[in-house]
Amino acid sequence: MDTKFSTIYLDGGFVEALSQQHSEVLNPATEHVVGVAPACGAADVDRAVAAARKALTRQDWAGTSGADRARLLERFADELTARADDMATVITSEAGFPAMLTGQVHVQQAIEFVRYFAALVATEQLSESRQTHNSPATVEIRQCPVGVVATLTPWNIPLLGALSKIAPALAAGCTVVHKPAPQTPLSSYLLADAAHAAGFPAGVFNMVPADLAGSRRLVAHPDVDMVAFTGSTAVGREVAESCAKDFRRCALELGGNAAAIILEDASVELISAGLGLTGLALNNGEACIAQRRVLVPRNRHDEIVAVLAGVAQSLKVGDPAQPDTVIGPMITRQHRDRVLDYVSEAAAAGAVVAAGGGIPADLDTGYFVEPTVLANVSNEMRAAREEIFGPVLCVIAYDTIEEAIEIAQDTEYGLSSSVWTADFARGQEVARQLRAGSVYINASLALDPAIPFGGFGSSGIGRELGPEGLNEYRETQAIFTPLG
């Protein structure tokens, strides 16, 4: 497929961008340019928002039934499925994620998001009559689309992050302006092509790759009713401040610093297979939900470090296009260097590098980092307090379960955590004491579209997925009619 683009998708078709600026897309494994996309400014953003606003006003999407929307969403899912192989190849190329991951997770799971929300609204009643408490009247309670939604997604989940927002927004009857990350815009052209083939009314879905000024214009645009954003906590604060000025809604899925609490009875096999592999390899470690801080009983510290180090040393790092590669490159050279800085700073502060800690000796091209295990980490170290976003585990010892919970909670984030134990009841007891949007027992992740996902504290506002995710894109209206 052609990966040199000069167009944007708006008002039902691909049109030339007004912007003459463009951004090159690098394959982080080869450092070669693999595509080009426009870097649009305010003028192109304004066109896309105008198309979405016009489509909302026409009511040929917002005014349809849930069943009608579901049929078109299913068609959209079918068109995405027809492009699944191409999307997986593109995501591996632009983001560096291993081929074993992109097809099954980044693409197929994203398509399941669309089918889930289609099923959710297919038989849904969008209004109900409600008995009044002390008024002689009839009341109709309606679920209305919030309006024009801007979706801004990060480079680490270019399709998953997009469809976790676009699918519920469309299902709710909203119109959408989607802005992909500048590092990974190519897959969004396939997404837009699938939307076009599905036959959404003109302006219901729009896609515009934007530069920083264009992105800020989209977030602040007075005709955007809601912003759905996934990214860093720092940028999330900017988005929230911009929306707050006009009392516009925002849903924010931001950073994380998950703690995996290993209880005394957790088996070596469980830790190795469940935590070692996913904690290090999931999305090359570039995942906000990665169980980065591993909290272990002090008397098992050395044993568990040895287990995790063995896993780290066994993982194949290299060309993500190869089917047996487990960990690919970091997204950019700057990001790779940032990950390595965390490791070297922790080592200087007293942590022990039990595995990895550098650049693989046989990979002098690409932005690779060895899977790394840091032992004897203190929760006061920067590597334990901040989101590393790379294949690095920080092992922290605790003496009592109360101390483990205290360490787990000693963070500004609250996106996810996990508990590892042979006793499910005990695991649930500990989980209920953790302030995190998702807590997993003997797991690091559950990508199920029925399960709401989001965080406490600096990890964001609102929820994605599940009925809760659909309701983020709705307003409730009461129509009051007096009797007699």
Same domain? 164 vs 281: no
Same domain? 294 vs 320: yes
Among residues 253, 286, 370, 387, which one is catalytic?
253
Q: What is the pTM of this model?
A: 0.97
The predicted structure's pLDDT at residue 466: 98
- What's the rounded Cα separation, in Å, for the pair 391 and 318? 13
The SS3 call for residue 250 is: strand
Amino acid identity for residue 6 in this structure: S
Residue 344 lies in a domain: yes
The two beta strands, 226-230 and 249-253, are parallel
Query: Which backbone phi and psi does 190 adopt, to 5 degrees?
Result: -70, -40
User: How many structural domains is the chain composed of?
Assistant: 2
Asked whether the CA dihedral 441, 443, 448, 454 is positive or negative, the reply is: positive
Nearest Cα neighbor of 5 from 15, 200, 178 is: 15
Residue 67 lies in a domain: yes
Same domain? 349 vs 308: yes
Q: Using alpha carbons only, what angle is made at residue 249 by residues 243 and 255, rounded to the nearest 5 degrees?
A: 75
Same domain? 239 vs 264: no
In whole angstroms, how large is the CA radius of gyration of the chain? Answer: 23
Contacts of 260 (CB under 8 A, 6+ apart): 275, 279, 291, 293, 294, 295, 417, 418, 419, 420, 444
Give me the residue label for tokens 């990890």.
459
Same domain? 438 vs 467: no
Asked whether the CA dihedral 460, 463, 464, 470 is positive or negative, the reply is: negative
Active site residue 253: yes
The predicted structure's pLDDT at residue 484: 73
Residue 242 lies in a domain: yes
The SS3 call for residue 478 is: strand
- What's the rounded Cα separation, in Å, for the pair 279 and 155? 19
The predicted structure's pLDDT at residue 277: 83
Whole domain around residue 425: which residue ranges? 259-448
Q: Across the strands, what pairs with 478?
A: 141
Same domain? 30 vs 58: yes
Residue 444 lies in a domain: yes
Please say whether the beta carbons of 484 and 136 come within 8 A.
yes
Same domain? 200 vs 107: yes
Please say whether the beta carbons of 404 and 398 come within 8 A.
yes
Asked whether the CA dihedral 361, 362, 364, 366 is positive or negative, the reply is: negative
The predicted structure's pLDDT at residue 31: 98
Stretches in the chain below the pLDDT threshold 70: none
Same domain? 247 vs 322: no
- What's the rounded Cα separation, in Å, for the pair 459 and 409? 13
Residue 2 lies in a domain: no
Same domain? 339 vs 380: yes
Residue 1 lies in a domain: no
Length of the chain measured in residues: 484
